[in-house]
């Protein structure tokens, strides 16, 4: 994933995206659809979370979405602008934790 340096949001696995910001920070995003609207969920910094961990978390989240379970934590949402797109900010959580069942 270090080869991806262009500013923007890049699909790297099913429902998993790497966001590269103009000042060089990189973060993982999970994209899913709820009520026919695309939703984005931040999974953390690419510096702190490996690609394989982010990919595994996205796979778990896809199952939760398919089961109709909630995957967002609205109390911790923050606006994050879409890198280089000129579009409105997307909503992503600052931090989210999942407990295994």
Assign domain 8-93 to a CATH class.
alpha beta
Q: The pTM is what?
A: 0.69
Residue-wise pLDDT tens digits, 78-88: 334 444 444 44
- Could you tell me if 89 and 81 are in contact, meaning their C-beta atoms sit under 8 angstroms apart? yes
**Cross-sheet strand order for the sheet of 16-20:** 8-13, 16-20, 26-34, 37-45
Residue-wise pLDDT tens digits, 25-77: 999 999 999 888 999 999 999 999 999 999 999 999 999 999 888 887 533 33
Residue-wise pLDDT tens digits, 39-49: 999 999 999 99
- Could you tell me if 3 and 12 are in contact, meaning their C-beta atoms sit under 8 angstroms apart? no
């Amino acid at each position: 994933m270090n080869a991806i340096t262009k500013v923007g949001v890049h699909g790297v696995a099913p429902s998993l995206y790497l966001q590269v910001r103009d000042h060089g920070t990189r973060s993982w995003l999970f994209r899913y659809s709820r009520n026919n609207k695309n939703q984005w969920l931040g999974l953390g910094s690419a510096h702190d979370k490996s690609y394989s961990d982010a990919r595994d978390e996205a796979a778990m989240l896809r199952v939760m979405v398919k089961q109709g379970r909630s995957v967002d934590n609205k109390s911790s949402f923050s606006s994050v602008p879409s890198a280089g797109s000129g579009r409105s900010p997307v909503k992503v959580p600052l931090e989210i934790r999942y407990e295994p069942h």
